[in-house]
Amino acid sequence: MRARALPYLLLLPATLFLLVFFVYPFVEIAVLAITRDGSLSLQPLTTMATHWKFGAALGWTLLLAAIVVPIQLAMALSMATIVTKLDRGRSAFLYIFSIPLGLSDLAAGIVWLAIFEQSGFLNSMLHGLGIVDQPVLFLSYQNIWVIFIAIVLAEVWRATAIVMVILVSGMGLIPKEYYEAGEVFGASGWQRFWKITLPLLRPSLQSALILRTLAAFEVFAVVTALGGTTLPVLMGETYNWQFALQDRNVAAAYALVILGISIAATLFFLRVLRVPKGATI
């Protein structure tokens, strides 16, 4: 009897933790989003959906995720492959690649702001090289696409390493025998990558993609640092409604939208990259 109860007992603390710190706040938020002054109301949701910035925030957030995540995936795959191939200096490379992970989002945003600002490094360099006469204003409301590109760069720089770390550990799990067999049958490097590494990497790819995509929907500090309010994103609007506008109901409605997209993205990756039962290594 005791032995049968043990696993559940061991799960109990984690379950309690999840209930108290995840499920309870989630229910609170969901309730907030559909009430106003304690009574049921769709007003927070309609206020959010009809606000003139909502469409832009949703659009920019989705676009950002759609561009950043594939770039990060491609870069992380190549970085992970390089690291796995290395015989010597492997940990040194891993260490250097993952330096940006040690910085907070905001710090990363500020680092890139220091580059793109009117008095920033990029302008000093261009001026020093005689390419421009006076500093160019890169991050202005007139060139919103430049702001967008700067955010993409900052995000890629900051968060590619986390994908790489997951992929490196995933690659470490692939048995050497598959590659040896591939070599024996004359598969080229590319073929081995496409036919062996990628399929067997599926579980790691899945977790890396889910993790990164969720983070991409929650992008905030980097955008705030580089774009201010010029380029609205969902998380920035949530913050704005909660703190600047002091309306937690509408902020909760935004949080629900982010949650909704996140669940949809997670289900998508779970489905697309699912590993059939019995096909695991």
Partner 1 sequence: MRRSIATLASATLALAITAQAAQAQVLFWSTQAAPVEETQKMREQVLSGFEGGVDFQASETGPFLTRLSAEIQAGSGQIGVVGALHGDLATYADSFVDLSDIDLSGVTVSDAFLELGKLGTDEQKYLPWMQANYVMAANKQALEYLPEGADINALTYDDLIAWAKTMAEETGSPKFGFPAGPQGLKHRFFQGFLLPSYAGSTVTRFRSAEAETAWEKFKELWQYTNPASTNYAFMQEPLLSGDVWVAFDHIARLADAFNQRPDDFVAFPAPSGPAGRAFMPVLAGVAVPTSAPDMEASKALVKYMMQPETQVATLLATNFYPVTDAPLPADLPASARALGPAITAMTTADDALPALLPVGLGDLGGQFNQVYTDTFERIVLGNQPVRDVLDQQADTLRSLMEQAKAPCWLPDVPSEGPCPVE
262 binds partner 1 (CB under 8 A): no
**Which residue of 81, 242, 262, 266 would you call a contact of partner 1, by CB under 8 A?**
242
Query: Does 238 interact with partner 1 (rule: CB under 8 A)?
Result: no
**Token duo for residue 49:** 């959906």
Residue 93: phi and psi, rounded to 5, are -65, -45
Q: Please list, in sequence order, all residues whose beta carbon lies within 8 angstroms of the beta carbon of residue 247, skipping any fewer than 6 positions away.
A: 44, 47, 241
8 A C-beta contact, residue 218 and residue 235: yes
Query: CB-wise, 78 or 118, nearer to partner 1?
Result: 118
Choose one: 90-98, 137-145, 151-159, 204-212; the region binding partner 1 (CB under 8 A).
137-145
**Which part of the chain contacts partner 1 (CB under 8 A), choosing from 60-68, 98-106, 124-132, 223-231?**
223-231
Residue span binding partner 1 (CB under 8 A) among the ranges 23-31, 61-69, 94-102, 133-141: 133-141
Provide the minimum distance between the beta carbon of 52 and partner 1 in the complex, in angstroms, as a whole number.
Answer: 7
Task: Please identify, using beta-carbon distances, which residue of 104 and 229 lies nearer to partner 1.
Answer: 229
Taking each helix axis from N to C end, the angle separating 54-85 and 43-50, rounded to the nearest 10 degrees, works out to 80
Q: Which two tokens stand for residue 157?
A: 């720089």
Going by C-alpha positions, the residue among 38, 16, 28, 48 that lies closest to residue 245 is 48
Contact positions with partner 1 (CB under 8 A) in 89-128: 118-119
CA distance 108 to 66: 20
Under DSSP, is residue 85 helix (H, G, I), strand (E, B) or coil?
Answer: helix
> What are the Cα distances from residue 83, in Å, to 32, 69, 76, 96?
47, 20, 10, 11
Tokens of 14: 């984690």
Binding characters for partner 1, 33-72, by CB under 8 A (x = yes) = -------------------xx-------------------
> CB of residue 123 vs partner 1: minimum separation in angstroms?
12
Residues in contact with partner 1 by the rule CB under 8 A:
52-53, 118-119, 134, 137, 139-142, 224, 228-230, 242-247
